[in-house]
Amino acid sequence: MPTDARLDHQSVLAIKSLTIDAVQKANSGHPGMPMGMADAAHVLWSRFLRFDPAAPDWPDRDRFILSAGHGCMLHYALLHLYGFDLPIEQLQQFRQLHSHTPGHPERGHTVGIETTTGPLGQGLANGVGMALAEARLRAEFGPELVDHWTWVIAGDGCMMEGVTSEASSLAGHLGLDRLVVLYDSNHITIDGRTEIAFTEDVAARYRAYGWATMKVDGHDLTQVHEALTWARHEGGRPKLIVCETTIGAGSPKLAGSHKVHGAPLGPDEVVATKRNLGLDPEKFFQIPDGVLGYLRAENGDRRGLREAWEARAAAHPQGPTLRARLAPDWSQLDTTVAWPSQAVGVGLSTRKGGEKVLQALAPHVPGLLGGSADLGHSTFTEIIGGGHVQKGDFRGRNVHWGVREHAMGSICNGIAAHGGHVPLNATFLVFHDYMRPPCRLAALMGVQNVFVWTHDSIFVGEDGPTHQPIETLQAIRLIPLMVLIRPADLAETCGAWRVAVERTAGPTALALTRQNLPELQRDESVGNPRDAVARGGYVLREAGHELQVVLVGTGSEVHLCVAARDRLEADGIGVRVVSMPSCELFDRQPVGYRRDVLPPGVPRVSVEAGTTKGWERYVGDRGTSIGIDTFGASAPDKVLAVHFGFTVDNVVAQARRVLAGG
């Protein structure tokens, strides 16, 4: 792009002008960061970032992530100025209901937003995932088809968050050299100067991670340009460019103050700031003359780059394969996979069953990529023979995440948002507590991320209550748009994985057992058990007598319900067993189907090795729940089963009690 010093200056002013007025009009927002990073962002977008506003989702575009998502007016201003479909009216509705300019960037809500940011550090970790996805696709398809960069703007808050350290450490280990982070080092957080809590040498920390670093004056366009040029040519390592900036640059009274971090300038300071910058204080959402033409002049060339890529992809032998990877069709998955099976009564943990299913799926889902947070020998989530991603060789299908549960989930969100992969991340269920932020964001974004959590109950045994999840299953179920599946045997584990792969518009969690479970006998009316799992809940065994009670179980407790049914049926009591691997999928079924499975007026008993809270909506006033509302205990799993009432005797006793109206 030809340079013009005057128009460069005016372009920076345009970013500041739009930010100042949008935040002031909303009387809410964070003007300081966009005002401080306007110079560096302008250089990045005008000289280095590869994109096409007419086709914001073309596969080989560069990825830009604003990890410091509170400064989203920086991103919105840039999108508008470069001609994306974000008109000025949307900027004028900043932070208002139904506008396309929410208070933090949201993927899928605003054009040009790659990932949802705001919880600090998540965006940078997502950027690691995007860079990893690019590196692996480039290793597989070659630079003719995959040749883009990942650029991140992060702030002081991002650098303090632990997830940033986890993700950056892995990025350095892998040598993700197409990842560039611009660190807005303005030394300000909400509470004041960073020195009150944060005095480390961030650049030194990143060099220790294996990153290349450079420090620049973030307001000097020439220095920023030179640093970004260096980053493009410095191979073998990710890059951190420390941009020393002044928050709220241009504000006479508030520049450099924490007061400009998260509040509007105020009417008087808006006028003073505009005058100080050379803007007309009587004009609002002002874009200086010539700026739009200057910034959009290269859009034709940007379109040309995209069209040239499309032509290469159309002519390249692997072009159709890449297209299929980016937009997979799973309509024939169920009939093409050789789903594993075993005889009724054979014992197998669902984590080991998951391993069997994963191997069967891998040839048909080439984008499956992931692994475990240093628990591969316990979660059994390695694609056998798939190789491992390592520095200099990204062709593997497995990733050693290390003991980095939080970053693992967040990086996988970035992989999912990038496209071309079905990311998999695994650990023990109790460590969902370390992963809730990426779980919530995966659901909010609607990205396909497969969370595999094993050791899903007190039946972890001797490790004790620190490793025994109690409230965790229901905590996951509370996340909107998350689907949790807790399969009861190998057949249901096949169905769970099928849902996880076919469900491209949201995350799926699999809760799998450590202990062996018997393969269940199903009534013939069930049909394909994988279809049954996709409905969330189904009648596994029908009553042999007039229906009197329904036993509802999940996962490792379903076989208890089956055994209790057989005992009660022998006494002439009609008992139906419902397997409920996924409450969320069941709740999405038509009302008629749900009533057929759980007939109104029939007493019910739920059985799940976790909290009873939440089950009242299924068992109703006449039913009861067998569960655990305390912490677990350290003992062998069979001892714990008796202690906490997960026995056939107790299920039978509770069924008799509800039948008696007790």
Residue found under tokens 């050299």 = 177
Do the beta carbons of residue 468 and residue 436 sit within 8 Å? no
Name the DSSP letter for residue 390. B
**What is the number of H-type helices and E-type strands within the chain?**
27, 19
Neighbours of 80 (CB within 10 A): 25
- Could you give phi then psi for residue 352, rounded to 5 degrees? -70, -35
Name the DSSP letter for residue 653. H
Residue found under tokens 């991320």 = 449
Residue found under tokens 């780059």 = 305
Bridge partners of 368, per DSSP, are 422
471 is catalytic: no
H runs (alpha helix) in 253-348: 267-277, 291-296, 299-315, 319-326, 333-336
> What's at 119, amino acid-wise?
P
Residue from 161, 269, 405, 492 carrying the catalytic annotation? 405
How far, in Å, CA of 637 to CA of 234, rounded? 54
Name every residue whose Cβ is closer than 8 Å to that of residue 108 and which is 6 or more positions away in sequence.
445, 446
> What's at 216, amino acid-wise?
V
Neighbours of 197 (CB within 10 A): 10
> What's at 137, amino acid-wise?
L
Which of 140, 139, 142, 202 is CA-nearest to residue 176?
A: 139
Helix axes 32-43, 5-26, angle to 10 degrees: 150
Name the DSSP letter for residue 44. I
Bridge partners of 64, per DSSP, are 151
Do the beta carbons of residue 415 and residue 475 sit within 8 Å? no
Active site residues: 405
